[in-house]
A and B are shown apart, each in its own frame.
Chain A
Amino acid sequence: MSGLVEVQLLNGIVQGMIYALVAAGLTLIFGMLDIPNFAHGAFYALGAYVAFTVVSSTGNFWLAIAVVPLVVAALGLLVDAVAMRRLARAGHVYQILFTLGLVLIVQEAIVLIWGANPTSVNVPAALGGGVPLGAVSFPFYRLFLVVAAALVIGVVWIALERTKYGAIIRAGIDDPEMVDCIGIDVQRLFTIVFGIGVGLAALAGALILPIRGGQPSMGNELMATSFAVVVIGGLGSYLGAVVGGIFVGLTQAVMTILYPAASEVAIFAAMALVILIRPQGLFGNR
């Protein structure tokens, strides 16, 4: 082996971690808050573009990684406060439609602010170079991306499953009125979860920027794949989103080796198969 297959598979995992980050946020916001966020891809795109601005004005990629999720999450919270809560009573259809309008606004705002042409930044100097792998080498930054994404996914999971705040959040989802009665501000908890979900998407956008650059439509392309990921993993399941993300990334990579023409279609075929065999998804329980 010349290492090319290994490189492809590693690339699949890199892409899979991006899917996992985005899908984890999507599934958190839906599973916990019951909000279908069809603008999730738009927040991902904003993450990439805000990171571009931070990197190109300060030259500091680390600052971008730290600041971007906060800035974009703040924007997400504004959307939540202005519209999503108001639309909760109108139902999912109108929440979806509002986020659809948001996608139009964000995409065009990106074109207006940053231009329609793709943007790119260099890989940070500290993460330059590559790891030798057979006859080729694998970029070090991509390995960093996998580790960083896995770390963040793990921290969020521990925070939700193993801490007091996580327990309160989960209780707030099961029985919001009861938790409210104990004297806990449920709405504030939900705001935090919404912020975390949007922040994960924005972080994914920032992390992918040095590899793929930014295009105004990058969020739309990601959205359909993310839906396939959460359907495969099970809507509302955090673990399902992560496993589904990596699975879809690897499927794409394997198909790119075997039969490139069908690499995109294969993801959705897998999704259709899951619906037929296990409608609740691999890790779903409803």
Chain B
Amino acid sequence: MTRFAVLVAIVALAPLVLRYPELETQILTFGLLAVAFNLLLGEMGFLSFGQATFNGAGAYAAARVLIDAHAALPLALLVGVIAGAITAAAIGALAITGRGVYGVMLTFAFNEMAYYAAFQWRDVTGGDNGLSGVPRPGIFGVSLADPTHYYYFTALVVLLAFAAVLRVNGSPFGAVLRAIRENEDRARAIGYRVRRFKVTAFAISGALSGLAGGLYAGLYRFVPLQAIDLDTSTNIVIAALLGGTGSPYGALLGAAIFTVLSNSLSHVWSHWPLIFGLVFCAVVLFFRGGLWSIAERWSRRAAHA
């Protein structure tokens, strides 16, 4: 609980310290994507390379509703959530027919399919040009036109979603996901309908990703084709791993660091992905718990001292 309180305090104070509300909003939406990914990998043990598919589905759906129906923002986000959940449930149901590596490859391949579908379906997605002119309506009479206002709105939504994830992890449902991660056959033998749990986990992860997509569409009033491409899926994987998959806090931390670094380092040295790749490989080889586990070890040592 204290950790969540610290998180709320950091999120609330961030715009007062760093005056880049748009970057900070992007950290939150990308953080939500990493947390959604981590629900699958950290809890259930499924490495998904398809998270951008759900993000893109949510972003396009929310943006369409905002553009075509001038819908209220909460309604548009809800549409994004539903679009993400349905997409993820469908892809998840297909992907889990294959165990292990096979399933990973399927999420990868389906993400590429979704990318080409979005690329060709110009009437809906704007294709290569992206979907521009997305309105950002106010909420309950309060204008969200100011970037800081939109940041606080996003912060409220993302923190609620994050609290929901903590709740899911702590629930019996979360315990079953971890049982599947540790030994799928045993979970099945005990009598759990593993398939149903897996598809549900995908749907939840997709719902969160769709929410992040909707918030992103409102942030830049634009949905780029990149929202649904494989590079975005890969970035989500990298960010979550860097932060640590042992905890949703780790995924959030990784997303924050990744967003800040990719925004700042690209100005310093254009070939920064080279160093980033080396660091990532080192994390995989030597620090599999990610930054969060290192931070936890330090805090434990500090507590003993």
Candidate in A93, A228, A279 with the most chain B CB atoms within 10 angstroms: A93
Known interface pairs A105-B278, A265-B113; A272-B94 also in contact (CB < 8 Å): yes
Q: Provide the main secondary structure of the chain B interface.
A: helix
Instruction: Verify if B277 is at the interface (C-beta below 8 Å from A).
Output: yes
Shortest Cβ gap from B273 to chain A (Å): 4
Instruction: Verify if A97 is at the interface (C-beta below 8 Å from B).
Output: yes
Instruction: Verify if A87 is at the interface (C-beta below 8 Å from B).
Output: yes
In the complex, per-residue mask of B88-110: 1 if CB is within 8 Å of any chain A CB, else 0: 00000010011011101110111
**Is B109 touching A271 in the complex (CB atoms < 8 A)?**
yes
**Is A105 touching B109 in the complex (CB atoms < 8 A)?**
no
Known interface pairs A112-B274, A268-B112; A101-B281 also in contact (CB < 8 Å): yes
On chain B, the residues within 8 Å of A87 by CB distance are 284-285
| Nearest A-chain residue to B273, judged by Cβ | A108
Interface size class of A (residues with CB under 8 A): 35 or more
Partner of B101, one of A235, A275, A276: A235
CA distance A72 to B223 in the complex (A): 39
Partner of A101, one of B100, B102, B277: B277
In the complex, per-residue mask of A35-78: 1 if CB is within 8 Å of any chain B CB, else 0: 01000000000000000000000000000000000000000000
**Is B109 touching A224 in the complex (CB atoms < 8 A)?**
yes
In the complex, per-residue mask of A172-213: 1 if CB is within 8 Å of any chain B CB, else 0: 000000000000000000000000000000000000000000
Candidate in B112, B271, B288 with the most chain A CB atoms within 10 angstroms: B112
On chain B, the residues within 8 Å of A112 by CB distance are 271, 274
Known interface pairs A265-B120, A271-B109, A275-B106; A94-B284 also in contact (CB < 8 Å): yes
**Is A231 touching B113 in the complex (CB atoms < 8 A)?**
no
Of B61-69, B143-151, B210-218, B234-242, which stretch is located at the interface? B234-242
**Is B285 touching A100 in the complex (CB atoms < 8 A)?**
no
Instruction: Verify if A170 is at the interface (C-beta below 8 Å from B).
Output: no
Instruction: Verify if B152 is at the interface (C-beta below 8 Å from A).
Output: no
On chain B, the residues within 8 Å of A105 by CB distance are 273-274, 277-278, 281
Shortest Cβ gap from A72 to chain B (Å): 18
On chain A, the residues within 8 Å of B273 by CB distance are 104-105, 107-108
Interface size class of B (residues with CB under 8 A): 35 or more
On chain B, the residues within 8 Å of A267 by CB distance are 113
CA distance A228 to B109 in the complex (A): 6
On chain A, the residues within 8 Å of B231 by CB distance are 220
Partner of B285, one of A83, A92, A220: A83
**Is A94 touching B288 in the complex (CB atoms < 8 A)?**
yes
Instruction: Verify if B81 is at the interface (C-beta below 8 Å from A).
Output: no
CA distance A265 to B112 in the complex (A): 8
| Nearest B-chain residue to A230, judged by Cβ | B105
**Is B105 touching A231 in the complex (CB atoms < 8 A)?**
yes
In the complex, per-residue mask of B64-81: 1 if CB is within 8 Å of any chain A CB, else 0: 000000000000000000
| Nearest A-chain residue to B234, judged by Cβ | A100
On chain A, the residues within 8 Å of B120 by CB distance are 261-262, 265
On chain B, the residues within 8 Å of A140 by CB distance are none
CA distance A83 to B97 in the complex (A): 29
| Nearest A-chain residue to B45, judged by Cβ | A93
Candidate in B101, B110, B234, B271 with the most chain A CB atoms within 10 angstroms: B101
Known interface pairs A224-B108, A224-B112, A275-B97; A97-B271 also in contact (CB < 8 Å): no
Instruction: Verify if B230 is at the interface (C-beta below 8 Å from A).
Output: yes
**Is B108 touching A223 in the complex (CB atoms < 8 A)?**
yes
| Nearest A-chain residue to B121, judged by Cβ | A261
**Is A30 touching B285 in the complex (CB atoms < 8 A)?**
no
**Is B104 touching A108 in the complex (CB atoms < 8 A)?**
no
On chain A, the residues within 8 Å of B47 by CB distance are 93, 96-97
CA distance A93 to B285 in the complex (A): 12
In the complex, per-residue mask of A94-119: 1 if CB is within 8 Å of any chain B CB, else 0: 10111011111101110110000000
In the complex, per-residue mask of B107-133: 1 if CB is within 8 Å of any chain A CB, else 0: 011111100110010000000000000
**Could you jot down 26 A-B contacts, CB within 8 Å?**
A83-B281, A87-B284, A87-B285, A96-B101, A100-B234, A100-B237, A100-B280, A101-B281, A104-B238, A104-B276, A105-B277, A105-B281, A108-B271, A108-B273, A108-B274, A108-B277, A112-B271, A224-B111, A227-B106, A228-B109, A231-B105, A264-B113, A267-B113, A268-B112, A271-B109, A272-B94
- Given contacts A93-B47, A224-B109, A269-B113, could you give 9 more A-B pairs where the C-beta distance is less than 8 Å? A92-B100, A101-B281, A105-B273, A108-B271, A227-B108, A231-B109, A271-B109, A275-B94, A279-B98
Residues of A within 8 A of B (CB): 30, 36, 83, 86-87, 90, 92-94, 96-98, 100-105, 107-109, 111-112, 220, 223-225, 227-228, 230-231, 235, 261-262, 264-265, 267-269, 271-272, 275-276, 279
